[in-house]
Chains A and B, each alone.
Chain A
Amino acid sequence: MSNYHLNYLEELEAESIYIFREVAAQFERPALLFSGGKDSITLVHLAKKAFAPGKIPFPLVHIDTGHNFPEALTFRDWLANEVNATLTVRKVEDTIKQRSLTEPKGKFPSRNWLQTYTLLDTIEEFKFDCCIGGARRDEEKARAKERIFSVRDEFGQWNPKLQRPELWNIYNGRIHKGENVRVFPISNWTELDIWNYIRKENIGLPSIYFSHEREVIEHEGQLVAMSEYVQPSADDIITTKKVRYRTVGDMTCTAAVESTASTLDEVINEIISTKISERGETRIDDRVTEAAMEDRKKNGYF
């Protein structure tokens, strides 16, 4: 093997940086959709490398459902400041009021579907022509078919039948006025790749990714954190458990896993030995129907 050889993480990194630079060059008003989770934290790290020693040439945009983990919000603010990026926050709460949307009800009232409204309003408000997201193709079967440059119509809709062929490393970001492109620089990364990269690059994460004590209730075999947004039933038993999060979304739709893993090495070992996929284990929202993600994406979701 020659010295001129990249390992798989270096190759993935090189590809992602290439994609980031294409975005900066092809679009007038791109934005990075920042959720506070490990995937978007990795995106920020890659963006920093792509434009060094300059600063990241687009804002970080957070669509805040109001149901976030406080630890994730604190980390978000710290990170934006650390990389000297503009942070724009738009709240689902405000969209609900302005548009008189109906709040979801139930035990775990997820605002996940409503996020799309706020996102589309934000795109309109700032005239973003490109939104960079941290979706990965290994996450879900609707994602597996999405392009790295995914063109959305003026309603933000994804049409799987009208995708542009994506050949070699050539990305066609040309669009008509009103359309926008969703770009996914870490499409080809798996969950484990992300964790290994975080370890290799020593990337900081919110504390909830590591083992901590938390009050939880059990729901269909999943552990959901107690919070003001969750409405437990009379027969729910609230217990304190040692848990960590494998993905970080809303407090109402992300489940914790029991774990004592408190370092990156321990977390990675647990993920390697786990027998359940990331979304299957921790996303309550995807269990509704088999096509839940496909439907959301067609409506303008990330």
Chain B
Amino acid sequence: MDLLRFITAGSVDDGKSTLIGRLLYDSKNILIDQLEALEKSTKNRTDGSVDLALLTDGLRAEREQGITIDVAYRYFTTPKRKFIIADAPGHVQYTRNMITGASNANLIIILVDARQGVVEQTRRHSIIASLLKIPHVVVAINKMDLVEYLEDVYNNIVIDYANVAKQLGLKDVIYIPISALNGDNIVDKSTAIDWYMGKPLLELLEEVEIDNDINLTDARFQVQLVIRPQTDDLHDYRGYAGKVISGIYKKGDKVTVLPAGIETTISKLEVGGEEVEEVFAPQSVVIQLADDIDISRGDAITKVDNQPQVNNELEVLLCWLDDKPLVPGNKYYLQHNSRLVRAVVKQIDYKLDVNSLDQQPVEGNVKLNEVVKATIKTAAPLVFDNYEKISANGSGILVDETSNSTVAAVLFK
């Protein structure tokens, strides 16, 4: 059994909460006491039906204001897969929350209201999906019950969206007509939508192939910390603990330690204290090297014949996530996995319109939810890849030196 992480995107009335509620409810992942709490909160409703959207309701502060504040994570399991849903709210600060939820997702469900078709929000969600390179896209055309389950309505939306997908370079796109409210095509195939030949949503989620989402070709590893027990029996032990970001490492591999550029050989590999012959992404491992080299947190161990970029000047896309605007020339910390370096945003080339993908000139400071192309200079060189090539080695965050807040998502070019 493997693990699929997905995010649901939709604007406020697209039925996102109902869809998640329906998935949890129909896959029998809702338990009696949670259902009782649900029925209690639904008592005030006039029609007496259970409001599935309330299953995903969070904090009291949110209920009082009738809004969702933050990304919530939901869990459910079927006999085939474990699922983690990032449920991102659909209003102000949407870009920020969606990027947070989408950064780890294998798949995105983009909800489209069958009555509205492809709208500005749909384009915006799709652009973020394409920026973050979410490997799989499911376009769920919801509220089919409100358009009399008409195939024509569905087909027209599919044609419209296919244009958006083509423009954005989204490859693996699956379309499905649903009614989250009535449960059509969620867990079971809908009888009302008999013209749809595909699988219901849950089956799609169970079967989408995610093995290839991890890059096993280009080996990348970054040191999180050095393990030196310094006990009598482990006097000379020196292991580099970290996560295999991508690719495969084998005992005996010739490697280069970066940014220093020193070559050596892997002498031993361990997982959870046990020696192994090879390791692969995304395992957490310990690497031992044949030579004594000065290596510390944030250094990279890569293969001699497959090298990443090493540079202290970076072309990046910045998604600004903080209420305080980005002031060009200000200094920040750039955190790239475990590597933390001081950085300055040197130049801002243009702003990306997240509704049209148009490049626009930047006037004044960069504000919350804006995406810009920028040049960053770092105090020490970074060992990285293009985000499109290896997303896990091509991404970082900016941290405000004074507030310590995470203020931007950084995608390396």
Interface residues of B in 84-104 (CB under 8 A from A): 84, 96-97, 99-100, 103-104
Instruction: Name A52's contact: one of B81, B272, B406 (CB within 8 Å).
Output: B272
Q: How far is the CA of A193 from the CA of B82 in the complex (A)?
A: 9
Q: Indicate with 1 or 0, residue by residue over A1-42, a CB within 8 angstroms of chain B CB atoms.
A: 110111110111111011001101100000000000000000
CB < 8 Å neighbour of B284 from A14, A138, A163? A14
For residue B280, which residues in chain A have a CB less than 8 angstroms away from its CB? 4
Contact call B100/A166, Cβ cutoff below 8 A = yes
Q: Which of B110-118, B153-161, B237-245 contacts A (4 or more CB under 8 A)?
A: B237-245
Q: How far is the CB of A261 from chain B (nearest CB, A)?
A: 18
Contacting residues, chain A, for B243 (C-beta < 8 A): 14, 18, 169
| Min C-beta distance of B17 to chain A, whole Å | 13
> Does A219 have its Cβ within 8 Å of any Cβ on chain B?
no
Are the C-beta atoms of B284 and A275 separated by less than 8 Å?
A: no
- Could you tell me if A275 and B241 are in contact, using CB atoms closer than 8 angstroms? no
- In the complex, A42→B16 CA distance in Å? 34
Within 261-282 of A, Cβ neighbours of B (below 8 Å) are at 274-277, 280-281
Contact among B58, B228, B404 for A141, CB-based, below 8 A: B58
A276 to B237 alpha-carbon distance, docked (Å)? 48
* Cα distance A274–B84 in the bound complex, in angstroms: 21
Check if B399 is an interface residue, CB within 8 A of chain A: yes
Whether, in the assembled complex, B224 has its beta carbon less than 8 Å from a beta carbon of chain A, the answer is yes
Q: Does chain B have a CB within 8 A of A165?
A: yes
Q: Are A165 and B100 in contact (CB under 8 A)?
A: yes
Number of chain A interface residues as a range: 35 or more
Please tell me if B216 contacts chain A, counting CB pairs below 8 Å.
yes
Q: How many residues of B contact A (CB 8 A)?
A: 70
Report whether B33 and A163 are in contact in the complex, using a CB–CB cutoff of 8 Å: no
B104 proximity list for chain A (CB < 8 A)? 168-169
- Contact present for B75 and A137 (CB under 8 Å): yes
A24 to B399, CA, bound (A): 20
User: A25 and B297: CB pair below 8 A?
Assistant: yes
Docked Cα-Cα span, A161 to B97, in Å, equals 12
Contact, CB under 8 Å: A167 / B103? yes
B72 touches A144 (CB 8 A): yes
Q: A5-B211, A25-B297, A137-B75 are in contact. Are A165 and B58 (CB under 8 A)?
A: no
Instruction: Decide if B52 is an interface residue (CB 8 Å cutoff).
Output: no
B60 adjacent to A294 (CB under 8 Å): yes
Contact check, A8 vs B2: say whether CB atoms are below 8 A apart: yes
Cα–Cα, bound, A275→B58 (Å): 21
B395 contacts A by Cβ under 8 Å: yes
Q: Which of B239, B243, B321, B391 has the most CB of A within 10 A?
A: B243
B-contacting residues, A141-198, CB 8 Å: 141-142, 144-145, 151, 160-161, 163-170, 172, 174-176, 187-188, 190, 192-193
Contact between chains at A21 and B241 (CB < 8 Å): yes
Return chain B residues, CB-CB under 8 Å to A6.
2, 282-283
26 pairs, A vs B, C-beta closer than 8 Å:
A4-B281, A5-B211, A6-B2, A6-B282, A7-B2, A13-B272, A24-B225, A25-B225, A49-B272, A50-B284, A51-B241, A137-B73, A145-B72, A145-B73, A151-B404, A161-B61, A161-B69, A165-B100, A165-B406, A172-B397, A188-B73, A188-B84, A274-B31, A276-B31, A277-B34, A280-B33
Q: Which 10 pairs from chain A and chain B are nearest by CB? A: A52-B273, A280-B33, A49-B272, A17-B284, A54-B229, A291-B60, A8-B3, A174-B404, A4-B280, A25-B225
